[in-house]
């Protein structure tokens, strides 16, 4: 039987979250779980090596890959991990030139030509949604057939790169088999959500739709673009059942770009979960302009939802407008108040170091987020991903540090006019300090403890946060 190994390249929590590593998450590589499931269904002997979750270094990842002796190594990568993926692929090919390496994921999709030229260790690339393309490519490779005509495939033509047209998206996501969580390292042991996103353990995340209608200029939507598709409510319930009964999962974060956009599905889902008595604690992401009616929010709460996470980015309307966020500060405030009135908590995602950022916009943002009844925030740095719409013109607004290995969003790689990296770092801590060290927030955290395991996770996160806040600046 043909053997394929999916690789999530080594990436430490330190590399991903910097000083906040202990407050970070370890979530399954969702893309790989779908791809693996499709390949297994096509009859391939399928394996996943999640070097990130197993905390392997580069040479350990290579060693394990070689010892498994697959015909194909299929690597996923974001911009932050592309160099690692390429390094592992290069080492594997040096030892076993017969192994075929294929890269896919958001970085390859946004930069197909550049990636293939810069990283010769990848034999093929797959652009965009990967399931159908990979199945066809792997079948062609195993039958020694021509691969160049396969939609979505990037291949080499001597020193040049050949790129086939993109493949249309899969219409019905329910035609995909359930993600192969069983091929990952043991889910409840190796994966977890960030401490502030859990009320119960073990926890994990889930993606139940693809695509986003938003056109935010900092967001890399090269894989699924603006076409929105979703699994049906029944399929999602089946996913939840599997996670609950097979892996004992008790907390889920739905990390769809916008879980609320499929209004009818949301209603069906909450009905099904309540009817079937699924006891699960969950939360989800939403755009502020798509917050549903209070009655739907109530239904969500009854079905176990306790937190809604909202992209706020900035407390200055002119920044939101410039970035084509498509929402107003009033909508954000209204959304937060509505969620709170329905008895759930809110978390806001903020970015710092926008192209138009000044000390004054930072202060206005802080005033905004401490005035509205938010319960949590996450602060990351505005990052210019090569596949984001802002990439072309970002250098007009500041200095872009184009080092992929720093593009974690947890360290400044875009320095707007008038700032330095140190100053941005200081302001990020200032945001967190001013937001979290308020009696309302501290007390609400204490009131959230449900178990010793949760308390332990929370304390670990709190220590990381406090250590970060009170670190003396270099």
- Residue 101 binds to ligand SF4 (criterion: CB under 6 A): no
Residues contacting ligand SF4: total by CB under 6 A: 8
Nearer to ligand SF4, 324 or 423 (CB): 324
Min. distance of Cβ 166 from ligand B12 in angstroms?
A: 12
Burial class (CB in 10 A: 0-12, 13-18, 19+), 2: middle
Q: Give yes or no for a cis peptide into 202 (omega within 30° of 0).
A: yes
Contact stretch for ligand B12 (CB under 6 A) within 85-93, 102-110, 329-337, 391-399 = 102-110
- Residue 384 binds to ligand SF4 (criterion: CB under 6 A): no
Q: Which residue's Cβ lies closest to ligand SF4? A: 214
> What sign for the dihedral angle of Cα 449, 465, 311, 127?
negative
Nearer to ligand B12, 173 or 369 (CB): 173
Min. distance of Cβ 334 from ligand B12 in angstroms?
A: 24
Beta-sheet pairing, 100-104 with 72-76: parallel
Please pick, from the candidates 212, 310, 316, 320, the single residue that binds ligand SF4 as defined by CB under 6 A: 212
Contact stretch for ligand B12 (CB under 6 A) within 23-31, 413-421, 434-442, 455-463 = 23-31
- Residue 214 binds to ligand SF4 (criterion: CB under 6 A): yes
Please pick, from the candidates 19, 20, 88, 207, the single residue that binds ligand B12 as defined by CB under 6 A: 207
Contact status, residue 428 vs residue 354, Cβ threshold 8 Å? no
- Residue 416 binds to ligand SF4 (criterion: CB under 6 A): no
Residue 256 to residue 323: CA distance in whole angstroms: 21
Contact stretch for ligand B12 (CB under 6 A) within 24-32, 58-66, 417-425, 452-460 = 24-32
* C-beta pairs of 463-469 under 8 Å, 24+ apart in sequence: 463/22, 464/19, 464/20, 464/21, 464/22, 464/23, 465/20, 465/23, 465/432, 465/436, 467/19, 468/19, 468/20, 468/429, 468/432, 469/429, 469/432, 469/433, 469/436, 469/437
Q: 3-class SS at 13?
A: helix
Please pick, from the candidates 219, 303, 344, 352, the single residue that binds ligand B12 as defined by CB under 6 A: 219
Please pick, from the candidates 39, 134, 379, 464, the single residue that binds ligand B12 as defined by CB under 6 A: 134
Nearer to ligand SF4, 24 or 214 (CB): 214
Instruction: Give the helix ranges, DSSP H, for 96-202.
Output: 106-110, 112-118, 131-142, 187-190
Min. distance of Cβ 130 from ligand SF4 in angstroms?
A: 19
Nearer to ligand SF4, 8 or 383 (CB): 383
- Residue 106 binds to ligand B12 (criterion: CB under 6 A): yes
- Residue 50 binds to ligand B12 (criterion: CB under 6 A): no
Contact stretch for ligand B12 (CB under 6 A) within 129-137, 359-367, 422-430, 441-449 = 129-137
Closest alpha carbon to 7 in 139, 145, 79, 105: 105
Residue identified by tokens 């889910």 is 187
> What sign for the dihedral angle of Cα 198, 204, 209, 214?
positive
- Residue 410 binds to ligand B12 (criterion: CB under 6 A): yes
Contact status, residue 336 vs residue 348, Cβ threshold 8 Å? yes
- Residue 312 binds to ligand B12 (criterion: CB under 6 A): no
Binding at 216: pick from ligand B12, ligand SF4, none (beta carbon under 5-8 Å per type)? ligand SF4
Residue 172: DSSP 8-state: -
Contact status, residue 205 vs residue 252, Cβ threshold 8 Å? yes
- Residue 219 binds to ligand SF4 (criterion: CB under 6 A): yes
Nearest-5° angle of CA 237, CA 239, CA 206?
Answer: 110
Nearer to ligand B12, 107 or 354 (CB): 107
Min. distance of Cβ 357 from ligand SF4 in angstroms?
A: 17
Binding site for ligand SF4 (CB under 6 A): 212, 214, 216, 219, 221, 257, 287, 311
């Amino acid at each position: 039987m043909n053997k394929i190994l999916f690789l999530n390249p080594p990436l430490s929590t330190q590399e991903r979250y910097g000083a906040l590593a202990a407050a970070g998450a370890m979530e399954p590589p969702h893309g790989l779980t779908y791809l693996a499931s499709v390949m297994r269904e096509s009859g391939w002997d399928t394996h996943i090596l999640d070097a990130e979750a197993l905390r392997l270094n580069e040479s350990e990842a290579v060693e394990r890959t070689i010892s498994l002796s697959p015909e194909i190594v299929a690597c996923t990568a974001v911009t932050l991990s592309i160099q690692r993926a390429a390094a592992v692929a290069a080492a594997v090919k040096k030892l076993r030139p017969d192994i075929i390496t294929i890269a896919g994921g958001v970085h390859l999709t946004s930069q197909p030509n550049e990636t293939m030229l810069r990283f010769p260790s990848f034999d093929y690339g797959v652009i965009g949604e990967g399931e159908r393309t990979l199945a066809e490519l792997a079948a062609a490779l195993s039958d020694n057939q021509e691969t160049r005509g396969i939609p979505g495939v990037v291949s080499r033509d001597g020193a040049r790169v050949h790129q086939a047209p993109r493949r249309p998206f899969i219409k019905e996501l329910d035609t995909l088999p359930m993600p192969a969580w069983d091929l990952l390292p043991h889910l409840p042991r190796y994966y977890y959500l960030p401490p502030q996103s859990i009320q119960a353990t073990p926890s994990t995340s889930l993606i139940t739709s693809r695509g986003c209608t938003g056109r935010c200029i900092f967001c890399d939507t090269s894989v699924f673009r603006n076409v929105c598709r979703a699994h049906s409510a029944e399929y999602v319930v089946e996913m939840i059942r599997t996670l609950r009964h097979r892996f004992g999962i008790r907390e889920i974060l739905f990390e769809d770009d916008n879980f609320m956009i499929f209004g009818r599905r949301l209603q069906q889902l909450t009905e099904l979960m309540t009817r079937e008595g699924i006891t699960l604690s969950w939360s989800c992401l939403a755009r502020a302009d798509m917050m549903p009616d209070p009655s739907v929010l109530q239904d969500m709460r009854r079905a176990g939802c306790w937190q809604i996470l909202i992209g706020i980015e900035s407390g200055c309307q002119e920044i939101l407008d410039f970035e084509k966020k498509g929402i107003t500060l009033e909508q954000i405030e209204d959304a937060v108040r509505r969620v709170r009135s329905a008895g759930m908590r809110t978390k806001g995602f903020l970015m710092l170091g926008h192209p138009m950022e000044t000390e004054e916009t930072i202060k206005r943002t802080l005033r905004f987020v401490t005035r509205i009844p938010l319960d949590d925030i996450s602060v990351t740095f505005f990052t210019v991903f090569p596949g984001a719409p802002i990439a072309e013109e970002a250098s007009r607004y500041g200095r872009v540090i184009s080092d992929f290995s720093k593009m974690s969003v947890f360290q400044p790689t875009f320095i707007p006019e008038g700032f330095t990296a140190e100053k941005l770092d200081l302001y990020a801590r200032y945001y967190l300090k001013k937001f979290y060290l308020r009696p309302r927030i501290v007390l609400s955290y204490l009131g959230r403890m449900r178990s010793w395991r949760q308390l332990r996770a929370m304390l670990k996160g709190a220590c990381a946060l406090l250590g970060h806040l009170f670190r003396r600046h270099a």
